[in-house]
Amino acid sequence: MNTTGLETDIQYIGAISEQQKLVINAGLVWLYSKSSEANPSFYISSHARFLSNFNVQYQLGNAALSFTGIYKSRRPQQAPGINAFVSKDYFLLNGRASYSLVKQRLAVFAQVDNIFDRSYSDLLGAVMPGRWLQGGLSFKLSK
């Protein structure tokens, strides 16, 4: 198997004011694989051909709001071992809101993963969870 491609990332961190901050990350991966084998490995042939991701975080004082997203495009195929199908492409969006309580070390948060409740499968065809909610406390050991 020969694989060629491109991977790149970009990041922006900006202080809007003393109390406001904006962080943006974005990445892109493009891969092309070619095999001389008639039936290449299912695992190897299932990798994403195109993948992009991003993260946007806005912070205002002790409050923060962030969104992450990922888009994957790959060759659709059957996963016969588990009677499943590897989908051609999908986009996921996740969101998180948090509020720091104690000097940026203890925070309360609420998070929604797979906001649009997208049906998709992992690399080997297993169906992944739909929308799910999380909430709780986070604690940083150091600043």
Q: Please give the Cα distance from 110 to 112 (Å, whole number).
A: 7
Q: Could you tell me the pTM of the whole model?
A: 0.81
Domain containing 139: what range?
Answer: 47-143
pLDDT in tens, the chain (143 residues): 788 899 999 999 999 999 999 999 999 999 887 777 776 666 666 677 899 999 999 999 999 999 999 999 887 776 666 666 677 889 999 999 999 998 778 999 999 999 999 988 876 677 888 999 999 999 888 76
Which is nearest to 4 in space by CA: 32, 46, 24?
Answer: 32
Answer yes or no: is 105 within a domain. yes
Cα–Cα distance measured from residue 139 to residue 143, given in angstroms and rounded to the nearest whole number: 10
Residue 89 maps to a domain: yes
Residue 14: partners with Cβ closer than 8 Å, 6 or more residues away: 21, 22, 23
How many structural domains does the chain have? 1
